[in-house]
Every structure is written in C-alpha cells, then in structure tokens.
C-alpha cells in the first residue's frame, strides 16, 4: 500500500484571477480509496479534472502512475475511468451504443466491448432502456449510465465526482457494493461527495478542501477524533427564542455552532450537558444527543453547513 499512484506537490490551478486550487500536496497510493470533501466551489472538481488529464495545471508537480499528464495525456487516461460531475453522455446514441462506443474510444476490440456492455447494462439496471436514446432517460438513469460507462475499460483508477448525486437509495447501495468489490480487486478510487455518510463508508482517507486549500487530512475516524468531540447535543428553542438563549448556552460548553434553526453543542457527555441546561431553567423544544460525525468535522473546518 505504499506505492504512490497519484502524487501532487504545490498543485495550482487558476481561472483568470481566481485561484481555484492553491498549491496543494497529496498522495494517493495503490488500492486506496481517497476522498475529497469541501463546500461548493472548494476546487474538488478542478483537482479531479487535473488528475483526469483533462485540465492543465498552472503550477506545481503532478504525476499519475509516474507520468506527467501534460505530456502523456492519452496514456494516463487509458488507466482511468471517469465519472464527471456533469454527465456528458453521447446524446445522439442509445444506452448500449453509448457504452459500446466509449469502450471503442479506448481502442478495445469489439468482442471484448460487446460482452462488457451486457454486464454493465445489467449493473446499471438499464435492461429495459437498453435501446432508448439518452435524452429519454431520467436524471438518475443518466447518472447510472455515466458510472457504468466509466467501468467499460476496466480502469485501474476510478475517478468519481459526486457519483451518487441524483441516485435513489437502492442505486446508491448497488454502486457502493460495486465500489467495495472493485477495491478488493485493487482498483484505486478517488471520490468527491457531499454526503458524509458516503465518505465515512467508502473512503480510507480524506482531504477536506476549502477555497482551493487543504484544511485537514486523515481517515474519517481520525478526523472526527481530531476536529470534534465525542458527542454532540442538538437543541432547538424555536426561531424567535434562539437569540435570547444563545449567550447562556455559550457559557455552558467549550464549542457551540449556531445554525439557523438549532444549536450544536460539542461535548464529551451530551446527557449531562442537557441536564445542566434544564437545571438552568431553559427548556428546549427538542433535543438530541448523538455521536460526532464527519458532518461536524466539516462544519468546524469550513464554517458552513453541508447543503448550501
């Protein structure tokens, strides 16, 4: 697990004056499942596209499988399966034709691609739509097809930019299952997502980005340990009363996040904190004690909620 497949040093990308990716360093080793988290506009997709050898960096060093994407784009892309954030299916073709021709773009032989297509149509659960034009698919079906398409060349590295956006729960679990199995076969995964449960499930290691910089790096559990407390107490007082009670709550624990509709209070022991609140004569409308999650880490690091 030490061989580094992807390695970035001082990786930078600018769009005019905007620095979308600001000199970041990271490594992804073989067989690893690597996640990129961050609020909208953090620069995740830009990093993904640079790794995918479809976007040229402005500064820094980037090597993928030991090669420089600026010099060996086609060779690098031969190893990759890419699911872009925005579907770019071939709208002039049907479902099976999309899978087939995409395999052909890699130069794969017809017979190989044809059998692969059958398997992928089943995987994407698009048997009934196999001859339908792409335009007539629903949003989630298109997404499934895009994901299936990325698998047609049996890639060594799978780049998934928000793969499950728009998928129903069943399709999402089928995808997760497939990704676990690919990982067992040694496929390296690079994933961005806005679903923290997905990140906790799928990723061995994560970076949290904001404004083009890396804010934190580590496994999901170590991030939670480092950037959050053991438990979180969520209390609601109703939108008109939140202001009044804020100061008294703030005095009761070390860290507190004020969301528009509720307070998140970070503590080692949620139940006893709640008792303390009642004891001080405050009566929250609702309260909930839960374990810290990646969501809390995210909130802490970026100061933003997940869904913007």
Partner 1 sequence: MFIPMAVAIAEARMGKRGERFYSGRVPQLLERGFIVFRSSTWMIVLSGFVEPVLYLLSFGYGIGMLLPTIESGGESIKYAVFIAPALLATSAMNGAIYDSTMNVFFKLTHDRIYHGMLATSMGPLDVALGEIGWALLRGFSYASAFMVVVIPLGLIPSIWGILAIPAAVLIAFGFASCGMAITSYMKSFQQLEIVNMLLLPMFLFSGSFFPLSVFPQWLQFIANLLPLTHAINLVRGLCLGNINMALAGHAMYFVIMIICGLFFTTKRLNALFMK
Asked if 278 touches ligand ATP (CB under 6 A), the answer is no
Asked if 55 touches partner 1 (CB under 8 A), the answer is yes
With respect to ligand ATP, which residue has the nearer C-beta, 21 or 145? 21
Asked if 45 touches Mg ion (CB under 5 A), the answer is yes
3-state secondary structure of 215: strand
The sign one gets for the Cα dihedral 89, 162, 40, 37 is negative
Shortest CB 120 distance to ligand ATP, Å: 26
Q: How far is CA 19 from CA 211, 212, 214, in A?
A: 8, 7, 13
Asked if 40 touches ligand ATP (CB under 6 A), the answer is yes
Q: Let me know: does 24 contact 172? Beta carbons within 8 Å.
A: no
Of these, 4, 54, 85, 125, which contacts ligand ATP (CB under 6 A)? 85
Cα separation, 221 vs 111, whole angstroms: 45
With respect to ligand ATP, which residue has the nearer C-beta, 194 or 262? 194
Of these, 185, 247, 251, 307, which contacts partner 1 (CB under 8 A)? 185
Residue 267: CB atoms within 10 Å: 22
DSSP letter (8 states) at residue 54 = S
Q: Which residue reads 């022991």 in tokens?
A: 269
Asked if 43 touches partner 1 (CB under 8 A), the answer is no
Residue 271: CB atoms within 10 Å: 12
Region from 39-47, 112-120, 238-246, 284-292 binding ligand ATP, contact rule CB under 6 A: 39-47
Asked if 41 touches ligand ATP (CB under 6 A), the answer is yes
DSSP letter (8 states) at residue 72 = -
Of these, 79, 236, 250, 255, which contacts partner 1 (CB under 8 A)? 79
With respect to partner 1, which residue has the nearer C-beta, 17 or 71? 71
Give the count of residues interacting with ligand ATP (CB under 6 A). Answer: 12
Asked if 142 touches ligand ATP (CB under 6 A), the answer is no
Asked if 3 touches partner 1 (CB under 8 A), the answer is no
DSSP letter (8 states) at residue 120 = H
Shortest CB 2 distance to partner 1, Å: 16
Asked if 305 touches ligand ATP (CB under 6 A), the answer is no
Residue 185: CB atoms within 10 Å: 9
Shortest CB 212 distance to partner 1, Å: 16
State the Rg of the chain over Cα: 22
Asked if 38 touches ligand ATP (CB under 6 A), the answer is yes
Shortest CB 13 distance to Mg ion, Å: 13
Q: Which residue reads 């830009």 in tokens?
A: 46
Cα separation, 153 vs 93, whole angstroms: 19
Of these, 12, 45, 153, 193, which contacts partner 1 (CB under 8 A)? 153
Q: Let me know: does 193 contact 199? Beta carbons within 8 Å.
A: yes
Asked if 143 touches ligand ATP (CB under 6 A), the answer is no
Asked if 206 touches ligand ATP (CB under 6 A), the answer is no
Q: Which does 43 bind (CB under 5 to 8 A by kind): ligand ATP, Mg ion, partner 1, none?
A: ligand ATP
Of 286, 290, 64, 83, the C-alpha closest to 196 is 290
């Amino acid at each position: 697990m030490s061989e580094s497949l992807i390695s970035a040093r001082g990786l930078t990308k600018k769009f005019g004056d905007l620095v979308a990716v600001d000199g970041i360093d990271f490594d992804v080793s073989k067989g690893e499942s690597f996640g990129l988290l961050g609020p909208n506009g953090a620069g995740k997709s830009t990093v993904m596209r640079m790794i995918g050898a479809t976007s040229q960096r402005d500064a820094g060093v980037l090597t993928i499988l030991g090669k420089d994407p600026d010099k060996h784009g086609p060779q690098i892309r031969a190893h990759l399966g890419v699911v872009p954030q925005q579907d770019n299916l071939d709208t002039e073709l049907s479902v099976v034709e999309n899978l087939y021709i995409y395999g052909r773009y890699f130069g794969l032989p017809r017979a190989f691609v044809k059998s692969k297509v059958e398997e992928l149509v089943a995987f994407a659960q698009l048997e009934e739509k196999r001859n339908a034009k792409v335009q007539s698919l629903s949003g989630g079906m298109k997404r499934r097809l895009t994901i299936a398409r990325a698998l047609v060349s049996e890639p060594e590295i799978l780049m998934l930019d928000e793969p499950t956006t728009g998928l129903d729960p069943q399709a999402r679990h089928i995808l997760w299952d497939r990704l676990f199995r690919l990982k067992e076969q040694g496929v390296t995964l690079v994933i961005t997502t806005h679903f923290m449960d997905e990140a906790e499930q799928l990723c061995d290691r994560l970076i949290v980005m904001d404004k083009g910089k890396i804010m934190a790096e580590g496994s999901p559990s170590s991030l939670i340990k480092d950037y959050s407390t053991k438990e979180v107490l969520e209390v609601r007082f109703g939108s008109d009363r939140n202001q009044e009670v804020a100061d008294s709550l703030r005095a009761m624990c070390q860290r507190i996040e004020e969301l528009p509709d509720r307070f998140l209070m970070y503590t080692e022991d949620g139940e006893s904190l709640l008792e303390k609140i009642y004891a001080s004569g405050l009566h929250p409308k609702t309260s909930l004690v839960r374990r810290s999650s990646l969501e809390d880490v995210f909130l802490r690091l970026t100061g933003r909620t997940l869904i913007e």
